[in-house]
């Protein structure tokens, strides 16, 4: 069984995340979206909200599970039996950062990282941009799935 982790804080889950996750479905038998806990990072949305945003995008999709985790992603991979990590790449900066992490993870474990380039239509979207729009009452709705829209 090909099992992967798609890790992140997903604060909030964006159309870019959705695109990478949907495109990963054909590559793996199961994908666990790992919603990372980081006590040093202040999030806009609670862990429960972030998990629900993602779950609501994939109602009825048995290949996707969503779990919170804390600590190293490779430890989470080992805990759930995943041999792959999926990461989306928007630009050269993302690639350089992710490459260093992937090499470190590979050195410390046998877990491979699979990079998917974001689609052109979502390559400019980031959670930090969405949070900035929400904070300033901007129109963020074109950048997130329906499940993230606030009341």
Contact 47, 37 (CB under 8 A): yes
Catalytic residue among 9, 50, 87, 127: 127
Identify the active-site residue in 41, 42, 107, 137: 41
Q: Is 78 designated active site?
A: no
End-to-end C-alpha distance for the chain, whole angstroms: 40
Q: Which of 9, 17, 24, 87 is catalytic?
A: 17
- Does 9 qualify as catalytic in the annotation? no
Catalytic hit among 3, 55, 63, 90: 90
Q: Is the dihedral of CA 118, 20, 43, 130 positive or negative?
A: positive
Q: Is 131 an annotated catalytic residue?
A: no
For the question of residue 110 being annotated catalytic, the response is no
CA pair distance 91, 111, nearest whole angstrom:
23
- 24: closest CA among 82, 81, 70? 82
Residues labelled as active-site residues: 17, 41, 90, 127
């Amino acid at each position: 069984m090909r099992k992967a982790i798609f890790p992140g804080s997903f604060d909030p889950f964006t159309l870019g995340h959705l695109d990478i996750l949907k495109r990963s479905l054909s590559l793996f038998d199961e994908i666990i979206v790992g919603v990372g806990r980081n006590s040093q990072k202040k999030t806009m949305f609670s862990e429960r909200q972030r998990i629900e945003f993602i779950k609501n995008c994939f109602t009825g999709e048995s290949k996707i599970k969503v779990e919170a985790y804390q600590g190293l992603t490779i430890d989470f991979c080992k805990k759930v039996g995943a041999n792959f990590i999926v990461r989306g790449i928007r630009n050269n900066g993302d690639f350089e950062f992710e490459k260093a992490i992937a090499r470190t993870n590979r050195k410390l474990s046998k877990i491979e990282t699979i990079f998917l380039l974001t689609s052109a239509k979502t390559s400019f979207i980031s959670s930090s941009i969405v949070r900035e729009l929400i904070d300033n009452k901007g129109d963020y709705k074109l950048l997130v799935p329906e499940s993230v829209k606030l009341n």
